[in-house]
Homo-oligomer: A and B are copies of this chain.
Amino acid sequence: MKYSIGEFSRITSLSIKSLRLYHEKEILVPSEVDKSTGYRYYNERNIELARTIKVLKEYDFSLAEIKEIIIEFSDESEILEQLIEKKKDIEKKIANYKNISLSIDLIITIEKENKMKPENEFEIEEKEVETMLIAGSRMKGKYSDVGKGFGLLAKNLGREINGKAMSLYYDAEYKENDADIEPCFPVRKGKDTEGISVRELKGGKCISLIHKGPYEQIGESYRKIFSYINEKSYTTLIPSREVYIKGPGMIFKGNPKNYLTEIQIFIQ
């Protein structure tokens, strides 16, 4: 029994285009080719081979790999190595996609959270903050160096990040150059590693003000919040915090006019 390419295509569920390609690549050669007309005819053995090719394709082998396999081997026990290799490839792909999925998920979660609460409109507020687990990287230097700290943290924590980036300020006064700062992230869990300390950050009562606009103009908001504190004669605690509710994102830099930074000064 011999089949024309159309019949064979229906039998094997391989497109005619694919069959011609496989012929050209000498992966699946028709049992008979009419020399004068060029018509391809396939037989039962071709069907068997086509099935093998289809399965290997499902298993994500490339045509080049398939060609090698079907030329050299004719039994599963002979291609154990290749199967093991392929499985490793696939596990790698899975791991990679899982990382991507988690990264995207983090962005989605944070953005959704931001959308939920349009926050009481930039007024000073007294509130309770809960204790949380954080991973931070304390450093001395300029404020502009903090970005690197966040980069380091994000790379090492990746999947465990559980909230918005924050900075802790250990100086009582404003320092231009030699500030004692700790960029940090809330995390689900984690261990201390090179330069990163994971620990509980105690909550408590704080005075909070959300600053809207570029970070360079945050001084004005600090002025407001301290004048409020002086008025009320509160005693402040160290460290104070900045929570980056909305800043340069993972994907876009965004518009600095819309950045939101919450200042939290803790009091006794």
Instruction: Please give the residue numbers on chain A whose beta carbons come within 8 Å of chain B beta carbons, in ascending order.
Output: 48, 51-52, 55-56, 58-60, 73-77, 79-80, 83-84, 86-87, 90-91, 93-94, 97-98, 100-101, 103-105, 107-108, 111-112, 114-115, 249-255, 258
Contact A90 B94 (CB under 8 A): no
Contact indicator B90/A100 (Cβ below 8 Å): yes
Q: How far is the CA of A30 from the CA of B254 in the complex (A)?
A: 20
A52-B252, A55-B251 are known contacts. Are A90 and B97 too (CB-CB below 8 A)? yes
Beta-carbon contact of B251 and A52 below 8 Å: yes
B-chain residues with CB within 8 Å of residue A77 when the two chains form the complex: 111, 114-115
The A interface is mostly helix, strand or loop, or mixed, namely helix
Chain multiplicity (copies):
2
A252-B98 in contact given A104-B87, A108-B80, A108-B87 (Cβ < 8 Å): no
Residue of B86, B87, B98, B104 near A94 (CB, 8 A) is B98
25 example contacts (A-B, Cβ-Cβ < 8 A) are as follows A55-B250, A58-B103, A59-B100, A59-B103, A59-B251, A60-B97, A74-B252, A74-B255, A75-B252, A76-B252, A77-B111, A77-B115, A79-B251, A80-B112, A83-B111, A86-B104, A87-B104, A90-B97, A90-B100, A90-B101, A91-B101, A94-B94, A94-B98, A94-B101, A97-B97
A252 to B254, CA, bound (A): 55
In the docked arrangement, what's the CA distance between A52 and B253, Å?
8
Residues of B within 8 Å of A258, CB to CB, are 75
The answer on a CB contact under 8 Å between A101 and B87 is: yes
Let me know if A93 and B97 touch, CB within 8 A: yes
What's the nearest-Cβ distance from chain B to residue A261, in Å?
16
- In the complex, what's the smallest C-beta–C-beta distance from A106 to chain B, in angstroms? 10
